[in-house]
Amino acid sequence: MPRTFKLPHFYHSPVISVVKHARRETDVRKRDLSPTLLDFGPVRFKIARHFGFCYGVENAIEIAYQALAENPDKRIFLLSEIIHNPRVNENLKHRGVRFLMDTAGTPLLPFDILMPDDVVIVPAFGTTVEVEQALKARGVTLTAYNTTCPFVEKVWRRSEEIGKQDYTVVIHGKRYHEETRATFSHAQADAPVVVVRDLSEAQALAEVISGEEDAAFFFEKFADRFSPGFDPTVHLKRIGVVNQTTMLATETQAIADLLREAIRTRYGDAEDAEIGAHFADTKDTLCYATKENQDATLALIADGGDIAVVVGGYNSSNTSHLVELCQQRLPTYFIRDADELLSPKEIRHLALETKQVKTTKDWLFPKSSQRNSGQQSAVGSQKDSSRQSAVGSRKPEKKPTTTLASLPKAESEASAERPDSLFAITPKAESRKPKATPTDIVLTAGASCPDVLLDEVLQKIVGWFPNTRSVEEVLEGYQR
């Protein structure tokens, strides 16, 4: 039985949480990745099987509100954002929690204001050994409200293990993300450490490992990404790869495979049995939630749609990877919340390529002539030409969306009693639905996004379409 957390009621949602609950009950073992279809008639939402708050995020939020409830008379500080979602952080600020650093680690308040009696909450990403020591020096204890995710600590433990066996730790991550800074700091106590951000940087490291490039190349290429005293002529003979838990799982695997091959080349096409002396097996550092959310997103986009909307904090690493996956197939809008939906004609969103927030016109209602000719022409009505080419180059392979009728027999008695209208476009709904092709919106969110934000997005979009079915009708049968 998975652990459940006590979250403030305002993070619960009347639509999305109900859908999630229903899917959980009919697919306890999480074998079915097909999206859920919510059919409002002229607009339909395809919802990913897995998205939103993960174990580590729920754990962090529960502890943060527990700290507030248990310490009404104390000063409460957060080392930095508890998770990467502005709504969650703003709510904690509003309740009096003060932030000591920003996400880059720049001080917002000096540590010397801290007193031993103060409560300091450690975010889900964990923190560096240096920060732990600075707080200890102020007499502050971090054990009571330390929300470091157990899956991040698992990476630290694995790094320590391989470090003690004389392997160098290669971190697949973003060097200045809080989690990677923390992992780097903990790992360097036991091992030389180097960070690679992506496959192209891994390729550069592979060239040094295989002997194609020299130490000077390494120092130039990885200028700020290695631990003090790192010697590429010595410290790349035995390596193991761990990751920032929110990176693309497939990329971490590709990086590990690439570096393993470089080791094989370096050591004269070593046999598999000999590789272990140079390359530690670290596959088990991938976080379950990241993997589930990415797999569910792949199933979601394979099912097709007109556009994708991904909701999450603009500094959220795991959300940005879901956006990367979606925009390979669909015009994709990465939005912080429903406020970014300015009108049916204008949307404000983050463009990952430039890291700039931009406004795109005609995002929702393509011109009717284009609408009728399918997804690619729908995209053609948009003014953002970069998206047109991205989508025009690949057409999604259609797979059936989950409807109640297509779900396997319920894994619990309760779900077996459900009426057939849970997920499906029912015959009754079909007869009410306008004949024109509905707009299909693919909707998902990162691991740090409360379900309620998706509800707000969904309801705002539904409000722009005429003659829609009511939320109650769409959810008929979900509620128990």
List the catalytic residues: 179
The reply to whether 285 sits near ligand SF4 by the rule CB under 6 A is: no
Count CA atoms within 13 Å of residue 119 on its CB side: 23
Pairing status of strand 239-243 against strand 279-280: parallel
Task: Check residue 64 for interaction with ligand SF4 (CB under 6 A).
Answer: no
208 close to 226: Cβ distance less than 8 angstroms: no
The helix or strand, by DSSP H or E, that contains position 301, with its residue range, turns out to be: helix 288-302
Query: Residue 445, interface with ligand SF4 (CB under 6 A)?
Result: no
Compute the distance between CA of residue 340 and CA of residue 334 in angstroms, rounded to an integer: 9
101 lines the binding site for ligand SF4 (CB under 6 A): no
The reply to whether 311 sits near ligand SF4 by the rule CB under 6 A is: no
CA distances from 180 to 150, 186, 359 (A): 15, 10, 31
Q: What is the DSSP string of 89-148?
A: HHHHHHTT-EESB-TT--BSS-GGG--TT-EEEBPTT---HHHHHHHHHTT---STTB--
| 317 binding ligand SF4? (CB under 6 A) | no
Q: Which stretch binds ligand SF4 (CB under 6 A): 24-32, 286-294, 373-381, 472-480?
A: 286-294
Minimum CB distance to ligand SF4 smaller for 188 or for 243: 243
Which among 104, 114, 113 is positioned nearest to 80, based on CA atoms? 104
CA distance 337 to 451: 11
Is there binding between residue 245 and ligand SF4 (CB under 6 A)?
Answer: yes
Instruction: Please report whether residue 319 would count as binding ligand SF4 according to CB under 6 A.
Output: no
Q: Can you point out the beta strands (E) in 132-280?
A: 168-172, 193-196, 239-243, 279-280
- In whole angstroms, how close is the CB of 323 to ligand SF4 at the nearest point? 16
The 3-state DSSP class for residue 323 equals: helix
Which one, 194 or 322, has the nearer CB to ligand SF4? 322
Other residues' Cβ atoms within 10 Å of the Cβ of residue 395: 12
Q: Is 318 in the site for ligand SF4 (CB under 6 A)?
A: yes
Q: Helix 288-302 to helix 317-327 angle, to the nearest 10 degrees?
A: 20
Selected range binding ligand SF4 among 18-26, 51-59, 379-387, 457-465, rule: CB under 6 A: 51-59
Residue 479 DSSP class: -
Q: Which helix (H) or strand (E) holds 346?
A: strand 346-351
- Touching ligand SF4, residues 412-431 (CB under 6 A): none
- Choose between 41 and 173: whose C-beta lies nearer to ligand SF4: 173
| Secondary structure in 3-state letters for 3-17 | CCCCCCHHHCCCCHH
Q: At a CB cut-off of 8 Å and minimum separation 6, what does 155 contact? A: 183, 242, 243, 245, 285
Side chain identity at 70, as an amino acid letter? Answer: E
Q: Is residue 151 at the binding interface for ligand SF4, with CB under 6 A as the rule?
A: yes
Q: Which of 124, 208, 404, 449 is close enough to bind ligand SF4 by CB under 6 A?
A: 124
Applying CB under 6 A, does 63 fall inside the site for ligand SF4? no
Q: Please state the closest distance from residue 180 (CB atom) to ligand SF4, in A.
A: 12
Q: How many helices (H) and strands (E) does the chain have?
A: 19, 15
**Which one of residues 68, 119, 152, 182 is an interface residue with ligand SF4 (CB under 6 A)?**
152
CB of 22 to ligand SF4, least distance (A): 23
By CB under 6 A, tell whether 52 contacts ligand SF4: no
Site membership for ligand SF4, residue 54 (CB under 6 A): yes
467 conformational bin, left if phi > 0, alpha if psi -120 to 50, beta if neither: left
Choices 8-16, 144-152, 186-194, 196-204; region in contact with ligand SF4 by CB under 6 A: 144-152
Contact predicate 200/222, CB 8 Å: no
CB nearest ligand SF4: which residue? Answer: 56
Return the range that interacts with ligand SF4 (CB under 6 A); candidates 27-35, 37-45, 269-277, 284-292.
Answer: 284-292
Query: Smallest gap, in angstroms, from Cβ of residue 154 to ligand SF4?
Result: 8
Q: Is 51 in the site for ligand SF4 (CB under 6 A)?
A: no
Residue 290, interface with ligand SF4 (CB under 6 A)?
Answer: yes
From the list 146-154, 170-178, 274-282, 359-367, the region that binds ligand SF4 by CB under 6 A is: 146-154
Query: Rounded to the nearest whole angstrom, what is the least distance from the CB of residue 370 to ligand SF4 in the complex?
Result: 38
By CB under 6 A, residue 56 contacts ligand SF4: yes
Total residues interacting with ligand SF4, rule: CB under 6 A: 15
Q: Is 55 in the site for ligand SF4 (CB under 6 A)?
A: yes
Output the smallest distance, CB 149 to ligand SF4, in A.
Answer: 3
Q: 14-25 in b/e burial notation, b at 16+ Cβ within 10 A?
A: ebbbbbbebbeb
Binding site for ligand SF4 (CB under 6 A): 54-57, 124, 149, 151-152, 245-246, 287, 289-290, 318, 447
